[in-house]
Structure 1
Amino acid sequence: MTVGHRTEFAGLPVHNFDPETPGPVDPERPGPVDPDRPGPVDPGKVAWRIATWEEDDNWEERPSPTFEARFEQFLDTVDPASVSALVLGSWGYAAFNTPPYAQLCAAADRLTGLRALFLGDMTSEECEISWIRQEDLTPVLEAYPALEVLRVRGSEANSAPVRLRPLRHRALRELAFETGGLPAELVRAVGDSDLPALTHLELWLGTEHYGGDATVEDLAPILSGTRLPALGYLGLRDAEIADPVAAALAGAPVVARLHTLDLSLGMLGDAGAAALLAGQPLTHLRRLDLHHHFVGEELAARLVEELPGVEIDLGEGMDPGDEDEYYVAVAE
């Protein structure tokens, strides 16, 4: 599956920051730029995307100097206090350059209105998802206590995985990690965090080959729901261990509070589907997303029949014949 650039984020259209047409507020022409009428942009009505990409960067293990300069130019050009949503794309070649999170944290006293943040909006042409160097995200969340949405793409398993320390964050409503392999340490940190406002949690667990070493036991604090009282959407996506996850969900206390359960993009097969049907009732769900799966026709039909009123996505069904041929949608 190709992971592309976001065109919308946090309910706003994504607008690429261009220092040639930066976009201060123009009361005569509010709102995003019309592509047929280039002109200013209202800073608060778009999600600003900042990116630079240098294919031949040297291995520096630091943010690209070009990106650092572009970010500072953005802060000096657009009223930072008016920015509510920010998308960071390539910070140089992300397989070499580490993310500019220290610079982002240092700007917290200027980006006082920031409520939504996407870190790593890159295509595979810019950097494969499992090559993107990440680091500890805890300082970012601590620097932005009013942040409501955080989405992160990428994790490099060997030397620069995505990390998080357990914390309490009162404002965060949506948290998502898009990876080809999510470290067990991060999964445990999410489960050990106090996130009382969180309504949307999305974890792309991935495969062990790319650092996805989380087990069902690592998910236990999340499945208990103890520290996630507001959770309505739970996505355990792109999972090599989709069948064991489904079996655990069959009796997990958190499921009773959900309106959406998302097990898409992974290796869900007949064993997982049967566990869902044999477990606690799921008829309260509004949506069950299983697209990209390896469930046979008989069990797929039973899911639809036994969950009336639930919107079930069984698209992209694969041949369930040979389990050795199963694969997740997003890996490298």
Structure 2
Amino acid sequence: MADETCCEDFYFGDVGPIDTVYAGLPVAGLDSDPLPPAGEAAWTLSAGWDEADDIAESFAEFIDTVDTTEVQALVVGAFGDSDDSAALIVEPLIKAADRFPALRSIFLGAITSEENEMSWIQQTDVTPILEAFPRLTRLDVRGSDGLTLRPVRHEALRTLRFETGGLPVEVLRGVLDSDLPRLERLDLWLGVPNYGCTVSLGDLSPLLSGERLPALTHLGVENSDQQDEIAALVAASPLVARLACLSLALGTFGDEGAEALLAGQPLTHLKRLDLRHHFMSDSMMSRLTDALAPSGVAVELGHRRDLSTWGRARYVTVAE
């Protein structure tokens, strides 16, 4: 059975902070007063841009203060200054993996646009996280500069999300070449070529064929400047028949993409179709709603963008 949270809303609007709840747990930090029980919070770690200390020192303080054997979720923010990479926290976290037997969820790079533009976030190879934590069920990653994922087998992972302004094709291939038998949710923010996206429409074919990721029930291919073309591929994708939730949000989706969805295979089995941040006309929005809502599909059409504001140029939610 699919995870009950497969259609959970992971859209963070203007890429703001995860400041209240993550992985079903209230967010807390070492500055919380009083400190909650270790297993009842998603713990935040952040160096802070104004501090001389990097995140490795914050992590050392954390493991000396909190009963890490009970920690279920970590939300990792700023690694240090803008040139510091996620390796500063990934390496000590992996070395201390045996001290986190209950850890199930990690958000790596929960950094807001006020702290650093997404394209400037210095990421790292996230494969060792999956290798060190075989019982991890959720991994969220923000930023793509230096991001790597090598093929890996992981029997517990159920949610994998990459929020980027430009996704390297090697990361997509790492996902597709991995053995992830329980993965139910995959979100890929493709972004634009100017900020690092090297994923072509053809690169999506192995994913959309339905031959990989046998447990997948939620797919997001989002934040793309080719959102209409992606919709046309999705409309004919064998994978769609087994999805509960589909997201083509955050990108340049317009009437052409909607027409492709309406002309393609039936989508009335979906629980949710997320098209937020779009450029559709009123008439097309009505057509989509009329076609899907009577079957119980929740069609998300918020954040409509006005072409006249930008000289009829479409834009994605996050690039830089």
Give the letter aligned to residue 153 of structure 1: R
Q: Which residue of 2 aligns with 1:31?
A: none
Q: 1:83 aligns with which of 71, 75, 90?
A: 71
Alignment check: 8 A CA contact 1:192 1:221 kept: no
Mapped pair 1:4 → 2:16: yes
Mapped pair 1:251 → 2:246: no
CA distance in 2, matches of 1:195, 1:216: 23
Deviation at 1:56, TM superposition (A): 8.2
Deviation at 1:112, TM superposition (A): 1.3
User: For structure 2, which runs of at least 5 residues remain unmatched after alignment?
Assistant: 1-12
Deviation at 1:2, TM superposition (A): 2.4
Alignment check: 8 A CA contact 1:190 1:222 kept: no
Deviation at 1:324, TM superposition (A): 5.6
CA distance in 2, matches of 1:115, 1:323: 46
CA distance in 2, matches of 1:235, 1:258: 11
Mapped pair 1:50 → 2:45: yes
Aligned length: 302
1:325 partner SS: coil
Mapped pair 1:171 → 2:156: yes
- Per-residue CA deviation, residues 139-185 of structure 1 (Å, 9 max, x unaligned), is 111111110000011122xxx2x110111111000000111111111
Q: Which residue of 2 aligns with 1:318?
A: 305
CA distance in 2, matches of 1:245, 1:323: 24
Mapped pair 1:277 → 2:266: no
Alignment check: 8 A CA contact 2:273 2:298 kept: yes
Mapped pair 1:71 → 2:59: yes
TM-score (norm 1): 0.87
Give the letter aligned to residue 282 of structure 1: L
- Per-residue CA deviation, residues 250-296 of structure 1 (Å, 9 max, x unaligned), is 11111001111111111011211111111110000111110111122
Q: 2:137 aligns with which of 132, 142, 148?
A: 148
CA distance in 2, matches of 1:269, 1:287: 18
Alignment check: 8 A CA contact 1:141 1:147 kept: yes
Percent of aligned positions that are identical: 50
CA distance in 2, matches of 1:293, 1:323: 15
Mapped pair 1:103 → 2:89: no
- Per-residue CA deviation, residues 225-267 of structure 1 (Å, 9 max, x unaligned), is 2221211111111111111110110111110011111111110
Alignment check: 8 A CA contact 2:22 2:42 kept: yes
User: For structure 1, which runs of at least 5 residues remain unmatched after alignment?
Assistant: 22-37, 58-64
1:150 partner SS: strand
CA distance in 2, matches of 1:40, 1:273: 49
CA distance in 2, matches of 1:177, 1:323: 30
Q: 1:241 aligns with which of 226, 240, 255?
A: 226
CA distance in 2, matches of 1:112, 1:236: 32
Larger Rg: 1
User: Taking structure 1 as reference, are residues 141 and 167 closer, same or farther at Cα in structure 2, changes over 3 Å only?
Assistant: same
CA distance in 1, matches of 2:154, 2:311: 41
2:150 partner SS: coil
Mapped pair 1:129 → 2:118: yes
Give the letter aligned to residue 304 of structure 2: G
Give the letter aligned to residue 104 of structure 2: R
CA distance in 2, matches of 1:299, 1:283: 17
Deviation at 1:323, TM superposition (A): 8.5
CA distance in 2, matches of 1:96, 1:55: 14
Alignment check: 8 A CA contact 1:193 1:227 kept: no
CA distance in 1, matches of 2:210, 2:183: 11
Deviation at 1:217, TM superposition (A): 1.3
Alignment check: 8 A CA contact 1:129 1:179 kept: yes
Deviation at 1:320, TM superposition (A): 5.0
1:54 partner SS: coil
CA distance in 1, matches of 2:50, 2:37: 32
CA distance in 1, matches of 2:287, 2:114: 40
Alignment check: 8 A CA contact 2:169 2:197 kept: yes
